Amino acid sequence: MRRKVIAGNWKMNKLPNETIDFIQKLEPLVKETGNEIILCVPYTDLFYALMTAQNTNIKIGAQNMHFEEKGAYTGEVSGEMLKSIGVEYVIIGHSERRAYFLETNEIVNKKIKAALKYDLKPIVCVGESLEQRESGKTNEIITEQIQYALKDITSEQLKSIIVAYEPIWAIGTGKTATAEDAENAIKAIRSKLLEMYGQQTSQGVIIQYGGSLKSTNAKEIFSMPNIDGGLVGGASLDVEEFSKIATI
């Protein structure tokens, strides 16, 4: 049985004082859950989040990192830097990074390798645009993204990786994929992993759904056999709402 993993992606939201307050309020609401809970916060909140989440079941992640270790990359943060302060997870290849910061599949692959080098656990995002969905290319696009993202990644390394299926048209739009559509896309991802890594390894990979998740729609989506929780954007900014989703 795979565990359920619920991760919040705060994107570019919340200041340190809001971060401390949020985690202090979240802690009693989620302490009994068997789900794994992760908050992916802005770089400037990471240290405060890590301090506040100590001795709780809330894990902390970053939303991006550079693939190089160090050097003349103004404004960038490396995997080693994240690891050095105790960060455990890092989102890689979010569609907003792919769209606004021109991250290619090749860059995503480099970042995953760099994250693994420093024992960070990547949450790797894939997803199709509305145009791609409407032209019937969903499975082709997401399996291609998986293939490139995981190039040269071993079965052993795959155990530290979470995949998040986030259809771009569902992100921040209020349009959620139906539970069936999300399940079908995630099944296609798992079949690709089966082809690449075999039955046992592919069955063990946590694959989340993300895109306009709310406490009102998450239960049905999380009940699908191949969906192992979610990556939550907007709804993760409200502590009550996030706690409801995290404890389903």
The residue from 38, 116, 231, 246 that contacts ligand 13P (CB under 6 A) is 231
Q: x/- site string to ligand 13P, residues 87 to 116, per CB under 6 A?
A: -------x----------------------
Three-state SS for 77-121 is CEHHHHHHCCCCEEEECCHHHHHHCCCCHHHHHHHHHHHHHCCCE
Cα 106 to Cα 63, 93, 112, 169, distances in angstroms: 18, 10, 10, 23
Site for ligand 13P (CB under 6 A): how many residues? 14
Q: Which is nearer to ligand 13P, 61 or 211 (CB)?
A: 211
For ligand 13P, which is the closer residue by CB, 10 or 48? 10
Q: Is 131 a catalytic residue?
A: no
The single-letter code of the amino acid at 181 is D
Per-position x/- string for 18-57, each x denoting binding to ligand 13P as judged by CB under 6 A, each - no binding: ----------------------------------------
Placement of tokens 């296609």 in the chain: 188
**Cα within 13 Å of Cα(27), Cβ side:** 15
Nearest approach, Cβ of residue 149 and ligand 13P (Å) = 16
Identity of the amino acid at 3: R
Among residues 94, 103, 183, 241, which one is catalytic? 94
Q: Which of 162, 210, 226, 244 binds ligand 13P (CB under 6 A)?
A: 210
**Cα 159 from Cα 202, distance rounded (Å):** 9
> What angle, 0 to 180 degrees and rounded to 10, lies between the N-to-C axes of helices 138-149 and 179-197?
40
Determine the interface stretch with ligand 13P among 18-26, 129-137, 151-159, 233-241 (rule: CB under 6 A). 233-241
User: Side-chain half-sphere of 119: how many Cα atoms within 13 Å?
Assistant: 5
Told to judge if 166 belongs to the known catalytic residues of this protein, a careful annotator would answer: yes
Using CB under 6 A as the binding rule, whether residue 183 contacts ligand 13P is answered as no
The single residue among 61, 122, 229, 233 that binds ligand 13P, judged by CB under 6 A, is 233
The correct pick among 66, 211, 221, 245 for binding ligand 13P (CB under 6 A) is: 211
- Residue selected from 87, 163, 213, 221 as contacting ligand 13P according to rule CB under 6 A: 213
Is 101 exposed, middle or buried (CB count within 10 Å of its CB: 0-12, 13-18, 19+)?
exposed
Q: Under rule CB under 6 A, which residues in 120-179 are in contact with ligand 13P?
A: 166, 171-172
CB half-sphere exposure, 128, CA atoms < 13 A = 22
- Can you give the binding site for ligand 13P, defined by CB under 6 A? 9, 94, 166, 171-172, 210-213, 231-235
Name the residues annotated as catalytic.
94, 166
